[in-house]
Amino acid sequence: MARQSLDSGASYVDTVVHGSGLTELQLRETLGDLTHTVRFPVDGSVRIPLERKGGWFTMYAAGDGQPLQELGAYALKLANPVYLAMAVCSHNATSIETAVFSDVSFQEIPPNRTKK
Residue 71 maps to a domain: yes
Looking at the structure of the chain, the number of domains it has is 1
pTM greater than 0.85 (yes/no): no
pLDDT of res. 38: 92
Question: Domain range for residue 42?
Answer: 2-84
Residue 29 maps to a domain: yes
Residue 38 maps to a domain: yes
Residue 30 maps to a domain: yes
pLDDT of res. 54: 86
pLDDT of res. 114: 56
Residue 62 maps to a domain: yes
Cα 32 to Cα 14: distance, rounded to the nearest angstrom: 16
Residue 89 maps to a domain: no
pLDDT of res. 109: 63
pLDDT means over runs of 10, the chain (116 residues): 95 89 91 93 85 92 91 93 88 84 78 56
E-assigned strand segments in the chain: 2-3, 12-17, 22-28, 36-43, 50-53, 56-61, 69-75, 83-84
Residue 104 maps to a domain: no
pLDDT of res. 4: 97
